[in-house]
Chain A
Amino acid sequence: MSQRQVLQVFEQYQKARTQFVQTVAELATRPQNVETLQNAGVMSLLRPLLLDTVPTIQQTAALALGRLANYNDDLAEAVVKADILPQLVYSLAEQNRFYKKAAAFVLRAVAKHSAELAQAVVDCGALDALVISLEEFDPGVKEAAAWALGYIARHNGQLAQAVVDSGAFPLLVLCIQEPEIAVKRIAASTLSDIAKHSPELAQTVVDTGAIAHLAQMTLNPDAKLKRQVFSALGQISKHSVDLAEMVVEAEIFPAVLACLKDPDEYVRKNVTTLMREITKHTPELSQMIVNAGGVAAVIDYLGDSKGNVRLPGIMMLGYVAAHSENLAMAVIVSKGVPQLAICLVEEPEDHIKAATAWAFGQIGRHTPEHARAVAAANVLPKLLNLYLDTQSSEDLQVKAKKALKSVLQKCTYLPALEPLLYEAPSNILKHVICQFSKVLLSWILRGSAGEGGELSASLRCSRNPISTIQFMNFCVLLKFIIYCDIMHFIYLSSTLFY
């Protein structure tokens, strides 16, 4: 045969291989084909193509493998078992940038499913190779490498520590300063994934001076970038007071409040999460946020949004109100109570209702004024219903009961307490009676109609209101003697024989 014919054979083979690999890569984008491909044994066919001489075939094979591994964790395990990873890692250091991108994509696809797979990725020395590819010039390669590192670090603290130990940190901080938006996004999400596990890791993030860059990036108009940045800041500040103070010192407030009106839902949610993590530590931080007008902004946000994303906002209001009664009054003054009442009614999910009940408990437990504000919004019957409803979860019932108790112990607003008299079970009713006895006692002794004007018609039915109270108290007194204050008992018994 002539030379040309011999070469033609090789060319045909190469064309066939290229076509095969490209088709497989295309087919792997659709989920319905993946099962068929797996049954046809595509893994074992793609593996030798990774070592092909033609670079295009290598890259496309790697891309196809990545897409397959991305689909579900069985395939990812198959990739790991077929010993493809060491080969990928080795060539990650050597090849050109397209191959690096594809290889980083495969590593990311494998690592994203579970912690064991991520550990397997780490064990074959992928971290060093990924760190080296973070130093590349090409932004696509950097993005892919940072993404892979982020998915590895996401699962648990040891993996995140391993990522940090491999020296990826300063490079990630440099990636954040890159002009390309995609690289910034991915680097921010990786930082967020690393910082969320433990205070030491969050401290490492802060030590490299990342907070200043993250704070600058909050002003960027890109929505996905802002999502990641706020998520990162939130993960950093949730661990301890010092970290939260450092985040606040980066002067992100009040500029961050503007992002509460961002059209993207998750940006708003992450901003509220950040505010919640900051306010939960100390009263001073909460005070700072209240003074910057954050409470009003969050209440507006609660009004605008629906569903699960309301949860961080509700919890933030609860944390703010929990610290001191000044802050609780600030929440009330900013019209938080009607908005929370709306949330309580509208939301179908139990955990959001539980959080709202808890927030109400925190707001109303401080002084009678606060309890009055909570009671005036007609919240107490709703809390009672939640407590009595058999379909509510355990957590919701417990929280509703605690909130009800803590508000009732300070509530002296009788019109709101009335409806509870008829429906409440005994352990709630004793508190209601106690409150009634505390308020009406002075009224009885004075003999004037001071608080009497606030009683409903049913209690003032007889000409002599005292007898009605006598009757009422006599009925329940025998049952609740030991619960109410002994002095109240003495006074009440003296009025009985008056």
Chain B
Amino acid sequence: MARLVKLFMQIDNIKEAHFVRNRIAEENRQRENSAAVRIQSWFRGCRVRAYLSRIHRKATMIQKTWRGFKAREHFRQRVKTAYFLMKMNFYNKMAVKIQQRWRGYYVRKYVHNYYARKRYLEALTQKNEQIRRELEELAEHQRKERERVAMEREEQEKYVRAQRLHFLLSTKQCPGVFNSPFRPEPDEMELRLRRVKPVRTMSAPKESWPMNQQPSSYQHNKERLPPIHNTPQGPFRPAVEVQQQRYRPLEPSLRVATSITALEEAREELRRQEWRTRLIDHPFLPFSKAPNKKYEPLLHAASPYQQTEYGTKHFREENRSQLETKKLFRRVFTTCHVFDKFGRLYSNTGKTV
């Protein structure tokens, strides 16, 4: 209760205080309101800012991870391409090295082979030397040959002259023209006159065969084998002829060349040809569709008692007894050699068979 009394005593204060407080509050309301608003706005702002910064942070984080992801991917790609390029460069360099080597080898071996060319030139020099030597030898040989022939001819002429002047031979009594006593020796012609033989009747002039016309080096190159026979062998037929005779082809006569079944084969061939070429398989049929008429024999050929033999069994008057004595008709003969040599005789007259 005391409290209540206290409170009743303070009712006026309270009313006054209420109005004062209201007045004060009213005066401070604006200020306090704006302050409150400010505080609220600031707090809101903080809150929003915090929210914004949060979402910024989140966004940044997302972007960051995404960018890192993409960049790492890109980087991996670049690493791959760099690796690939590195490998390709390496391969290219190696390929270039291989190509260099190969091209060098190929050119040195096939296009311009220095050693082959050197060898060729050396071989050429040797060949030239050989040719020069052989030609010299040949020229020498021919020159000697000519000289020899000239000398022999001269010798022959002098001999003939000596034969003709045989009467100028010096005798014991009278020295000849060529044997002057004032000379120390008789002349060459005198010696020839002494050696000469009288002229005989002309025999066939013997030509000395010319010596082998090959130079010595060529002769030695051919190897000579020892002879096969000791006795001289006769004149040989030329080898071509012998070969021709040995391998002459068989020339059978017409009878031998024909096969034994030629006739049957010909018939068979005819049959086959007929079978091949015949277009119409059915034989020609008569027009009439009437059934086969029975054959009516001739009345005049029919005898009263039976059918006559003539017209049915045989058609011709023949004399059987006479025919039996007759020899059979020959169908096989001995060969006739008329055409065997056709085209094979040597002379043309034989061809008019």
Contact = CB atoms under 8 A, between A and B. Distances in A.
Are A and B bound to each other?
yes
Interface of A: 254, 257-258, 260-261, 263, 290-293, 295-297, 300, 326, 329-330, 333-334
12 contacts: A258-B135, A261-B142, A263-B142, A291-B127, A292-B131, A296-B128, A296-B129, A297-B131, A330-B121, A330-B124, A333-B121, A334-B125
B139 A293 contact: no
Contact of A261 (B128, B130, B138, B146): B138
B124 A334 contact: yes
A260 B131 CA distance: 11
Contacts of A334: 124-125, 128
Contact of A257 (B125, B131, B143, B146): B131
B117 interface: yes
B72 interface: no
A58 to B, nearest CB: 37
Given A261-B138, A261-B139, A261-B142, A296 B121 contact: no
B135 A261 contact: yes
Contacts of A260: 135
Contacts of B80: none
A300 B138 CA distance: 14
Question: Chain B interface mostly helix, strand, loop or mixed?
Answer: helix
Contacts of A254: 131
B124 A290 contact: yes
Contacts of A300: 132, 135
A333 B139 contact: no
B127 A293 contact: yes
A297 B124 contact: no
Given A326-B117, A329-B121, A330-B121, A295 B128 contact: yes
Interface in B86-136: 117, 120-121, 124-125, 127-132, 135-136
Nearest to A296: B128
A330 B122 CA distance: 10
A333 B132 CA distance: 14
Contacts of B124: 290-291, 330, 333-334
Interface residues of B, number: 18
Chain A CB within 10 Å, residue with most, of B121, B129, B136: B121
Contacts of A297: 131-132, 135
A254 B127 CA distance: 12
A258 B138 contact: yes
> Which of B128, B130, B132 has the largest count of A CB atoms less than 10 A from its CB?
B128
A291 B129 CA distance: 12
Contacts of B130: 293
A373 to B, nearest CB: 12
A261 B129 CA distance: 15
Contacts of A296: 127-129, 131-132
Nearest to A254: B131
A300 B139 CA distance: 12
Interface of B: 117, 120-121, 124-125, 127-132, 135-136, 138-139, 142-143, 146
Contacts of A293: 127-128, 130-131
Contacts of A329: 117, 121
A258 B129 CA distance: 14
B131 to A, nearest CB: 3
A289 B121 CA distance: 14
Contacts of A257: 131, 135
Contacts of B121: 329-330, 333
Nearest to A261: B139
A292 B125 CA distance: 11
Contacts of B129: 296
Nearest to B130: A293
A291 B138 CA distance: 20
B33 to A, nearest CB: 95
A442 B121 CA distance: 32
Given A291-B124, A296-B129, A333-B124, 7 more contacts: A258-B138, A263-B143, A263-B146, A290-B124, A296-B132, A326-B117, A329-B117
Contacts of B138: 258, 261
A433 B120 CA distance: 36
A293 B131 CA distance: 6
Contacts of B132: 296-297, 300
A294 to B, nearest CB: 8
Given A257-B135, A261-B139, A297-B131, A333 B117 contact: no
Nearest to A326: B117
A61 to B, nearest CB: 38
Q: Which 4 A-B pairs have the closest CB atoms?
A: A293-B131, A296-B128, A261-B139, A293-B127
A330 B121 CA distance: 7
Nearest to A333: B121
A35 B98 CA distance: 89
A260 to B, nearest CB: 7
A405 B158 CA distance: 65
A330 B139 CA distance: 25
A333 B125 contact: yes
B76 to A, nearest CB: 50
Nearest to A335: B128
A296 B128 CA distance: 5
A333 B126 CA distance: 11
Contacts of B146: 263
Contacts of B127: 291, 293, 296
Contacts of A326: 117, 120
A334 B124 CA distance: 8
Nearest to A295: B128
A296 B121 CA distance: 13
A258 B121 CA distance: 23
Contacts of B142: 261, 263
B111 to A, nearest CB: 12
B313 to A, nearest CB: 79
A292 B142 CA distance: 22
Nearest to B137: A261
A292 B129 CA distance: 12
Contacts of B139: 261
Nearest to B122: A333
A290 B123 CA distance: 11
A290 B135 CA distance: 16
Contacts of A291: 124, 127
